[in-house]
Amino acid sequence: MTTGPAPQSRGARGSAPRPLADDGSLRSGDDKRAAVQSMFDTIAPRYDLVNRIMTGRMDVRWRRRAVRDLSLSPGSVVLDLACGTGDFCRDLADSGLTPVGMDLSYGMLAAARTSAPLVQADALALPVPDAGVDGITCGFALRNLVALEPFFDELARVVRPGGRIAIVEVAEPSNRLLRWGHGVYFGKVVPLVGRMLSDGEAYAYLPKSVAYLPDPATLCAMIASSRLFVGAPQAAVHRGGPVDHRHPHMTDSSRPLLARTQRLDADIDLVAVAGANGVLWDAPDISLAGRGQALRLQVDRTDPARCGAAVTSALGAIDVDDRVKLPGTAVAAVGAWPFDPTERGELVVPEVLVGRSPDGTRWVTTVVPADSADPHAAHDALVNDLLEQLSGDPERTLAGFSTSEPLAPGAFDLATSPDPASWCASVRSACDELRAGAADKVVLAREVRVTADSPLPVEAIMRRLRRSFPDALRFSVDGFVGASPELLVARSGDIVRCHPMAGTAPRSGDPAADSRLGAALLASDKNRLEHQHTIDLVHDTLIGYCSYLDAEAEPSIVAMANVQHLGTRVEGRLSSPPASVIELMAVLHPTPAVCGRSRSQAMELIRRHETIDRGRYAGPVGWVDAAGNGAWAVGIRSAEIDGATARVMAGVGVVADSDPLAELAETRAKLQAMLGAIVRP
């Protein structure tokens, strides 16, 4: 639906001011509002075409990341401000949310391609009641507002307590060379394309409009003063891109939080709890599944001790009513961190978190604003909503798997990066450097990109992984899914455990043949040495935290569905006071099994010889509670899923005498774990 005055015809600005003054300067106040409205009325018919050319379709990834990070329950009402032609609305609807689009421009609303209701309105005076929506999205529109402070005040007014807000914007890069490229592209190329395909004045305004945006620190201060809270801005690195793009800023209410943990009688299916957009840690011991988002933390992990202390402090600030009192109860957060240890990690405290311990104890933790009118009623409502949603499908309520999987995509396109020949050439080049003494070992990865004809079913993929890899550490966090065989570190009270792995052989499906392959793996000097390097690092790193630490005398074979590894269990008792699992994880990552030896030299070789961005592949993934307990896996046998696209990676340890073709074959065996779960025509 639309309300308001009749739209102007294309190109007929009438008395409305142009987006730029005669001297090329930017406008302000009411002149800016009228100019922006008229400009978007004019460019609406060809807006999508020019926008795709301008961004190279990267805007699609940014929007989907923002929708995923909202972490709202299905059916939640989300207001999409500056909705334009409805891209955000379509992504929200595809994720099971209920979008409502709002834009100042009638021309954009008329060109919108969405079934969502549409409203013409000014973002500074939203026709929405107080606490009227569950979430808000806003894409690339801050620069077009007359004033930002009253805008953030409006957001604080209309979003419910504990609701979620995602804002996507683009800023000038700080790097001088990238800033020059940014200036050329947006200052010259974009106006040229806009003049050829649409309206020259409008696309001359767009690059200059970046000047309307405050610096990140000022923007955060504005949000904080409007009773909204935002984590520290984080830069997303896109290799080879001309622009430094910021991730969507996720904002939370600054109101204090209250967590309540209570026992559950029913054995709820954790995969169903997480669904496609929640978080899941599905392991043989403690398992957790959550939905919604009470808090999102961004953590600088360059100093492991400070990193662990910061997480403990943030989680400890939440008031707790814990009626179960086990590791993982009260307040717990789940995260999947990038492989690069210089990049920030993120942790999500779900609004609703269901847990199960090894002895069968089950619980549910809910997190609500502590100053709610009736916190107990708010907790009860979250639990009842969860049980009601799951009870709609009896097969999803109890542990097990549903036989009514959603229709999967019918067509898949697979592409490798780099191609096999180029990757083998990189391995040979790395071997040359290793023989020259650059390092003892380096781990090199390659990628298979899967593109389907419809969105990939995350929940169904997790069920397939559960059936194929029942003993693995399975996870689903913000689109990063997998079934890792390797426990990086776990802490329960003062007990610390690790199960490092290094050295791999294929499995054939024939028990006798697999036994021979396993025996050969145990007898392989190369694989035993590679494995021992990893054990030595884990032991030497943890010994300073422990009063007692021991490792198995000999490695054993750890058999997965597609490959088998050498593994050695390490266990010890932490000195008092015990370090948080976050600190232990931060000092251990990356191990030689996913990086190489020694660490700094191997990381440099990875930067030189890998042409892919690992992202979260081979990074730590797991959970932590307010007491510092938790478990973290090495994020291998994993995939980054974004709508209809999945990035699947596998790596191998390369030493001076490695055979590139043999290493290529090993990556193919490892890739099958995720490809078999994803590609189901």
Neighbours of 302 (CB within 10 A): 11
> Which residue, 53, 228, 56, is CA-closest to 138?
228
Residue type, position 6, single letter: A
Strand duo 319-322 + 257-263: pairing: parallel
Cβ partners under 8 Å of residue 175, min gap 6: 244
Distance (Å, whole) CA 620 – CA 618:
7
Asked if 465 and 477 count as a contact pair (C-beta separation under 8 A), the reply is no
Asked if 38 and 259 count as a contact pair (C-beta separation under 8 A), the reply is no
Q: Which one of the listed residues 441, 447, 459, 610 is annotated catalytic?
A: 441
Asked if 656 and 430 count as a contact pair (C-beta separation under 8 A), the reply is no
Query: Known catalytic residue: 169?
Result: no
Query: Known catalytic residue: 666?
Result: no
DSSP 269-318: -HHHHHTTTSEEEE-SS-EEEEES-SEEEEE--SSHHHHHHHHHHHHHTS
Q: SS3 string of 328-357?
A: CCCCEEEEECCCCCCCCEEEEECCEEEEEC
Distance (Å, whole) CA 608 – CA 679:
31
The sheet carrying 501-506 orders its strands as 501-506, 563-567, 556-559
Cβ partners under 8 Å of residue 544, min gap 6: none
Q: Where are the alpha helices (DSSP H) in 112-262?
A: 149-158, 176-184, 190-197, 200-208, 216-225
Asked if 641 and 458 count as a contact pair (C-beta separation under 8 A), the reply is yes
Q: Catalogue the E-assigned strands of 485-619.
A: 487-492, 495-499, 501-506, 546-551, 556-559, 563-567, 570-574, 596-597
Q: Residue for token digits 């049980």?
A: 387
Distance (Å, whole) CA 522 – CA 653:
16
Distance (Å, whole) CA 69 – CA 26:
33
> Which residue, 125, 118, 120, is CA-closest to 151?
125
Q: Which one of the listed residues 433, 447, 486, 530 is annotated catalytic?
A: 486
Distance (Å, whole) CA 530 – CA 96:
46
Question: Token digits for 90?
Answer: 């379509």
DSSP 37-80: HHHHHHHGGGHHHHHHHHHTTHHHHHHHHHHHHH-PPTT-EEEE
Residue 236: its H or E element: strand 235-236
Cβ partners under 8 Å of residue 189, min gap 6: none
Residue type, position 502, single letter: A
Using CA atoms, how far residue 110 sits from 94, 117, 137, 223, in Å, is 21, 12, 20, 32
Catalytic residues: 441, 486
